[in-house]
């Protein structure tokens, strides 16, 4: 039956972005690289790897705990390793656990066993991703469990049986009365119920090897023996409930894998079909809790894709089947890691493409068509809407090529737990393999009216700011516009307007929403193009429409060194709160992180100068809910205002139509500094070729290298004699490219823009004006080797459309002073070209003797 709850989608962290500093010491790199669908050796040959941990934010970072050699870390998915034992007093590492709320904090459980009595055994903690360690509690330790609802609460198993920390592992106390029966248990596994964190399980063995299971219903204050006289037990995990009610738990031991469906009160064996099998570790796939994995002696990795009802062995190519550690990352496709008696092995699941959805937004009841590929031919596929708990919306049978197609009706809000208006994820599950597609994003609206939805994180009507919204309606019907202003600190204000056919509409937000800081959502019942312009002092900035929220946003530029101020503006358009993690990548190396809580339907401002003073940096924002992020920069006193929305992915190619060493708005020749900002988010150096195109068909190329996990500022004035040029950036690995321009004498104006990651033949601009105090310039880059036709259409506020055509020669930049076509007029524009191109619009504003401005790449 469709619409029932199927799986708890336990997100262990965000998808990968490489934002950690490299620290790889002394261990030669492995020649192996993980392939898809097979086990691959990742080095550490001859070492017994007892524990594996994967950074939840950056899955390239692995930790391996060994039996006598301490902890090793890799920042390149196991291709090279370095020991990180500074301060680690005991090198027999049983478990490594990473704080799910702050991956800088890492815990290590150490010791050779209760009988050995190591004085140095205990719980070690690092606040620097393992670079240095501090002993926090003495006594043999073997297991950790974080409270999923409060990561400051951590349980540790060992001898003493259970310890508890309420400050993230800094201090520890015994979590049982002295006379409790659990006191004699050597605890090998601890688990916290994600549905009810007061419900905690501890498993282990008493003297002689008899297994026991204890349960606490008061967060570890007291314990009750629920099972005894078992074969040895080594691990326990919880997963979210399949339906509202008690959570599901799994035990791993010499009897196999046992499952509880009543929160740990009773257990039953679920691996009978495999015969007698000894299992040391059990793991739940953090993306799909239907998938259960077990490390079985002599057999390899067991896998169930149906909550433990049926089991198979995951591929037979694992080179060592004496397995002690097990971990899975959060990347797409995912990789599974097995720590064995002979090093570390990796199995990367083959990737499934994301589902194609049409439409991608709508109210409850909207019929959505979906298309997917790469599934098991003839196999069963389940399509789910997931916002917390997954809700099944469709079942499909893959064709002989592994393709699926079908439709579903979007459920109503409240039909499933945690299902709210705003952005929801839609994914498909291959029932035969347990593989899952990456999430597609669907915008769940309250109204049926919206055809176009645009977002803007920044906006202010408090003095000295002016905020304008410019809407281009290219169609034959009037567009009904609903502005939803999401206020700083929470609360919303709605305003409605109409934009006539074939025209442009302007709204000064100061007049309808005075003295506020806000984010904006604009819904239109017709296809429209939108930009937001802001002016302060004599300068201004502009951001084209942001069509969708995302969980990741990247920025190449940022500075808090005098005279710069940098702000990050975060918009949460969802009807529930979100948590964002901001990682600043410093120009000189290293990172710094910040966690920000975002109330529902609100805008939040982060003044980076207070967090990271006197620094130059790139930044990355990751959220547990889709959000919108912009960056605003100001050059004080009283000049140079710029703003940009972030980009969601790095790319190998970027194009800019604008660049100059001098500009001439209003007949004034203004010296101009043009900078190219490059961010390399990968672990390898990126070789970047920068090609400049002047207005006469001449080109110049330069090569730069951007170090791993760093940013590079390229001052183009020092590399060229071209006075006006376009740019192409080509890199050996995906990078982020942003251009900044500063012009005039002090105080200076400034513009900034991200490049276009691809070329197109149509570009749209909602903003444009040649009326005083503005000048408008449209620039076209033709990077091809042939001539290109250009058509420019200007849409005026009274509905007139004025058209001009041009021919642009090969390999050059071409610019048009718009005042020669539509003088003294506010306008929107559409530019079409006969060959792939990139188009930018520059606007300059003259106030007194000072010139400000802004630029924007067109909307495709």
Question: Which 3-state string (H, E, C) describes 172-213?
Answer: CEECCCCCCHHHHCEEEEEEECCCCCCCEEEEEECCCCCEEE
Predicted pLDDT at 710:
84
Give the 3-state secondary structure of residue 767.
coil
Helix (H, G, I), strand (E, B) or coil at 317: coil
Of the listed ranges 680-689, 737-746, 843-852, the one predicted with least confidence: 680-689
Neighbours of 184 (CB within 10 A): 12
H/E stretch holding 611 = helix 608-611
pLDDT of residue 389: 46
Query: Does residue 2 register a pLDDT over 60?
Result: no
pLDDT at 386: 64
* Range scoring the smallest mean pLDDT among 281-295, 408-422, 484-498, 636-650: 408-422
Q: Residue 129 corresponds to which tokens in the numbers above?
A: 């991703």
Does the pLDDT value for residue 498 go beyond 90? yes
* Terminal Cα-to-Cα distance of the chain (whole angstroms): 41
What number of helices (H) and strands (E) belong to the chain?
A: 2, 68
HSE, side-chain direction, 13 A CA sphere, residue 137 = 27
What pLDDT, on the 0 to 100 scale, is given for residue 653? 96
636 has pLDDT over 80:
no
110-150 tens-digit pLDDT: 999 877 878 899 999 998 889 899 999 999 999 999 998 89
Measured distance CA(480)–CA(306) in Å, rounded: 48
pLDDT value for 419: 55
SS (H, E, C) 449-491: CCCEEEEECCCECCCCCEEEEEEEECCCCCEEEEEEEEEECCC
CB proximity list for 267: less than 8 A, separation 6 or greater: 213, 227, 249, 251, 258, 259, 260
Q: Is residue 28's pLDDT more than 70?
A: no
| Nearest residue to 500 via CA among 522, 477, 523, 482 | 477
Residues 331 and 16 sit within 8 Å (Cβ to Cβ): yes
Cis bond leading into 433, ω under 30°?
A: no
Q: Phi first, then psi: give them for residue 123, nearest 5 degrees.
A: -105, 120
- pLDDT (mean) for 261-276: 93
Burial degree of 633 (CB within 10 A; 0-12, 13-18, 19+)? buried
Q: For residues 705 and 686, is the Cβ–Cβ distance under 8 A?
A: yes
Q: pLDDT at position 36, please?
A: 55
pLDDT of 30 over the 50 cut: no
| Rounded Cα–Cα distance for residues 548 and 573 (Å) | 10
pLDDT of residue 8: 31
Q: Residue 609: phi, psi to the nearest 5? A: -55, -30
Report yes or no: 818 and 778 within 8 Å, Cβ to Cβ. yes
Report the SS3 class of residue 127: coil
DSSP three-state, residue 447 = coil
pLDDT band at 66 (very low <50, low <70, confident <90, very high): very high
Most confident of 325-334, 566-575, 806-815: 806-815
Mean pLDDT confidence for 198-204 = 97
Task: Check if the beta carbon of residue 844 is closer than 8 Å to that of residue 832.
Answer: no
- 644 contacts 630 by C-beta, under 8 angstroms: yes
pLDDT of residue 449: 57
Most confident of 210-214, 317-321, 357-361: 210-214
650 and 681 in contact (C-beta within 8 Å)? Answer: yes
Residue 560: predicted pLDDT: 95
Collapsed DSSP state (helix, strand, coil) of residue 147: strand
Stretch among 58-62, 164-168, 213-217 having the lowest mean pLDDT: 58-62
Residue 100: pLDDT band with limits 50, 70, 90: confident
Residue 546 DSSP label: B
Rounded average pLDDT over 689-712: 94
* Beta bridge partner(s), residue 145: 155
Position 285 confidence tier, pLDDT thresholds 50, 70, 90? confident
Please give the pLDDT value at position 694. Answer: 98
Least confident of 481-495, 809-823, 830-844: 481-495
Q: What percent of the chain has pLDDT over 90?
A: 65
Q: ∠ CA 564-567-572 to the nearest 5 degrees?
A: 170
**Could you tell me if 451 and 524 are in contact, meaning their C-beta atoms sit under 8 angstroms apart?**
yes
| Residue 856 confidence (pLDDT) | 97
Which whole number is the average pLDDT over 631-649?
87
As a whole number, the mean pLDDT across the chain is 88
Residues 485-497 have a mean pLDDT of 91
Interacting residues of 432 by C-beta distance below 8 A, sequence separation 6+? 305, 376, 379, 380
Counting Cα atoms < 13 Å in the Cβ hemisphere of 516 gives 22
Average pLDDT over every residue of 847-859: 93
Q: Tokens in use for 736?
A: 């982020």
Q: What share of the chain is helix, strand, coil (3-state, %, to 5)?
A: 5, 55, 40
pLDDT of residue 17: 29
> What integer pLDDT is reported at residue 333 of this predicted model?
62
Q: In which region does residue 713 sit, left (phi positive, over 0), alpha (psi from -120 to 50) or beta (all else)?
A: beta
DSSP string, 300-311: EEEEESSTTSS-
Distance between CA atoms of residues 394 and 431, nearest Å? 13
Phi, psi (rounded to 5 degrees) for 273: -60, -20
Q: Give the least confident one: 509-523, 628-642, 658-672, 821-835.
A: 628-642
The predicted structure's pLDDT at residue 277: 93
Instruction: Work out the pLDDT band at 226, boundaries 50, 70, 90.
Output: very high
Q: Look at residue 165 in the predicted model and tell me its pLDDT.
A: 97
Evaluate the CA torsion angle 750, 755, 761, 762 in order and state its sign.
negative
Give dist(CA 839, CA 841) in Å, integer.
7
Q: What is the mean pLDDT of residues 207-235?
A: 95
Is residue 796 within 8 Å of residue 830, measured between CB atoms? no
pLDDT band at 387 (very low <50, low <70, confident <90, very high): very low
pLDDT tens column, 303-325: 988 888 889 888 778 888 899 99
> What does the alpha-carbon distance between residue 763 and residue 840 come to, in Å, rounded to a whole number?
9
Pull the structure tokens for residue 632: 């605003």
Confidence category of residue 414, pLDDT binned at 50, 70, 90 = low
Q: How many residues are there in the chain?
A: 860
Complete domains list, the chain, with CATH: 5-348 (2.130.10.10), 356-444 (2.60.40.230), 455-540 (2.60.290.11)
Specify the range with the lowest mean pLDDT, choosing from 210-214, 294-298, 742-746, 802-806: 742-746
Cβ neighbours of 676 (radius 10 Å): 25
At residue 29, the pLDDT reads: 29
Using 50, 70 and 90 to split pLDDT, how confident is the model at 287? Answer: low
425, with CB counted inside 10 A (0-12, 13-18, 19+), is buried
Q: Which of 350, 303, 351 is nearest to 326 (CA)?
A: 303
Which range (64-68, 216-220, 344-348, 817-821) has the least confidence?
Answer: 344-348
Q: How confident is the model at residue 241 (pLDDT cuts 50, 70, 90)?
A: low
The full DSSP string for 825-844 is: -BEEEEEEEEEEEEEEEEEE
Residue 22 pLDDT greater than 60, yes or no: no
Q: Could you identify the residue written with the tokens 């980076």?
A: 608
- Across the beta sheet with 256-260, the strand order is 233-239, 248-253, 256-260, 268-269
Tell me what pLDDT residue 245 has.
63
HSE, side-chain direction, 13 A CA sphere, residue 100: 20
| Rounded Cα distance, 566 and 641, in Å | 10
């Amino acid at each position: 039956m469709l619409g029932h709850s199927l799986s708890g989608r336990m997100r262990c962290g965000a998808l990968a972005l490489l934002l950690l500093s490299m620290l790889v010491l002394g261990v030669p790199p492995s020649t192996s690289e993980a392939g898809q669908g097979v086990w691959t050796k990742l080095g550490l040959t001859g070492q017994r790897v007892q524990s594996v941990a994967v950074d939840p934010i950056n899955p390239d970072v692995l930790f391996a705990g060994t039996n006598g050699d301490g902890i090793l870390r890799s920042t390149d998915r196991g291709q090279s390793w370095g020991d990180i034992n500074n301060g680690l007093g005991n090198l027999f590492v049983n478990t490594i656990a990473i704080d799910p709320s702050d991956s800088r904090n890492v815990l290590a459980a150490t010791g050779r066993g209760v009988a050995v009595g190591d004085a140095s055994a205990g719980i070690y903690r690092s606040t620097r991703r393992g670079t240095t360690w501090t002993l926090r509690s003495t006594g043999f330790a073997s297991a950790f469990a974080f409270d999923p609802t409060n990561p400051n609460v951590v349980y540790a198993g060992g001898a003493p049986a259970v310890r508890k920390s309420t400050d993230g592992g800094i201090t520890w106390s015994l979590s049982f009365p002295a006379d409790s029966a659990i006191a004699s248990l050597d605890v090998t596994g601890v688990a916290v119920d994600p549905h009810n964190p007061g419900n905690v399980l501890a498993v282990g063995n008493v003297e002689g090897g008899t297994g026991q299971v204890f349960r606490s219903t008061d967060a570890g204050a007291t314990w009750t023996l629920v099972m005894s006289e078992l074969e040895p037990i080594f691990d326990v995990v919880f997963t979210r409930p399949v339906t509202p009610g008690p959570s599901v738990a799994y035990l791993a031991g010499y009897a196999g894998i046992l499952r509880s469906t009543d929160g740990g009160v009773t257990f039953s064996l679920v691996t009978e079909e495999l015969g007698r099998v000894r299992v040391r570790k059990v793991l739940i796939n953090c993306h799909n809790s239907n998938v259960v994995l077990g490390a079985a002696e002599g057999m390899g990795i067991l896998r169930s894709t149906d909550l433990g009802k049926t089991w198979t062995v995951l591929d037979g190519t694992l080179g060592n089947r004496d397995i002690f550690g097990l971990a899975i990352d959060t990347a797409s496709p995912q990789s599974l890691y097995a720590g064995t008696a002979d090093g570390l092995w990796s199995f990367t699941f083959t990737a499934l493409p994301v589902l194609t959805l049409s439409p991608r937004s709508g109210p409850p009841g909207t019929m959505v068509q979906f298309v997917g590929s790469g599934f098991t031919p003839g196999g069963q596929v389940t399509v789910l809407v997931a916002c917390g708990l997954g809700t099944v919306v469709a079942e499909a049978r893959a064709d002989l090529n592994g393709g699926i197609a079908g439709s579903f009706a979007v459920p109503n809000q409240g039909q499933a737990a945690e299902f709210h208006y705003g952005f929801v994820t839609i994914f498909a599950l291959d029932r035969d393999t347990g593989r899952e597609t990456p999430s597609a994003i669907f915008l769940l609206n309250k109204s049926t009216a919206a055809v176009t939805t645009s977002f803007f994180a920044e906006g202010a009507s408090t003095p000295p700011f002016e905020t304008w919204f410019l809407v281009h309606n290219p169609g034959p019907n009037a567009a009904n516009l609903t502005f939803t202003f999401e206020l700083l600190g929470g609360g919303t204000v709605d305003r409605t307007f109409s934009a006539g056919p074939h025209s442009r509409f302007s709204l000064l937000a100061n007049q309808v929403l005075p003295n506020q800081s806000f984010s904006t959502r604009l819904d239109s019942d017709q296809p429209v193009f939108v930009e937001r312009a802001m002016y302060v002092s004599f300068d201004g900035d502009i951001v084209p429409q942001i069509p969708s929220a995302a969980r990741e946003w990247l920025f190449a530029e940022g500075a808090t060194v005098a005279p710069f101020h940098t702000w990050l503006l975060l918009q949460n358009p969802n009807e529930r709160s979100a948590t964002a993690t901001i990682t600043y990548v410093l120009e000189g190396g290293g990172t710094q992180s910040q966690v920000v809580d975002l109330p529902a339907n609100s805008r939040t401002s982060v003044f980076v100068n207070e967090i990271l003073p006197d620094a130059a940096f790139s930044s990355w924002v990751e959220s547990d809910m889709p959000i919108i992020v912009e960056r605003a920069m100001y050059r004080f006193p009283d000049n140079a205002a710029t703003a940009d929305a972030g980009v969601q992915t790095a790319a190998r190619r970027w194009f800019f139509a604008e660049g100059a060493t001098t500009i001439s708005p209003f007949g004034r020749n203004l010296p101009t500094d043009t900078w190219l900002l490059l961010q390399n988010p990968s672990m390898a150096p990126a070789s970047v070729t920068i090609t400049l195109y002047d207005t006469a068909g001449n080109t110049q190329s330069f090569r730069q290298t951007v170090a791993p996990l760093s940013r590079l500022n390229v001052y183009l004035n020092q590399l060229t004699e071209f006075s006006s040029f376009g740019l192409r950036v080509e890199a050996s690995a995906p990078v982020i490219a942003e251009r900044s321009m500063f012009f005039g004498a002090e105080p200076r104006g400034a513009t900034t823009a991200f490049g276009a990651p691809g070329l197109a033949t149509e570009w749209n601009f909602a903003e444009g004006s040649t009326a005083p105090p503005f000048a408008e310039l449209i620039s076209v880059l033709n990077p091809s080797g042939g001539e290109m036709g250009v058509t420019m259409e200007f849409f005026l506020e009274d509905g007139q459309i004025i058209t001009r055509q041009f021919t642009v020669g090969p390999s050059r930049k071409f610019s048009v002073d718009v005042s020669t076509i539509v003088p003294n007029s506010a306008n929107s524009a559409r530019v079409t070209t006969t060959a792939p191109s990139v188009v930018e619009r520059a606007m300059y504003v003259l106030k007194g003797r000072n010139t400000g401005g802004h630029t924007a790449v067109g909307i495709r």
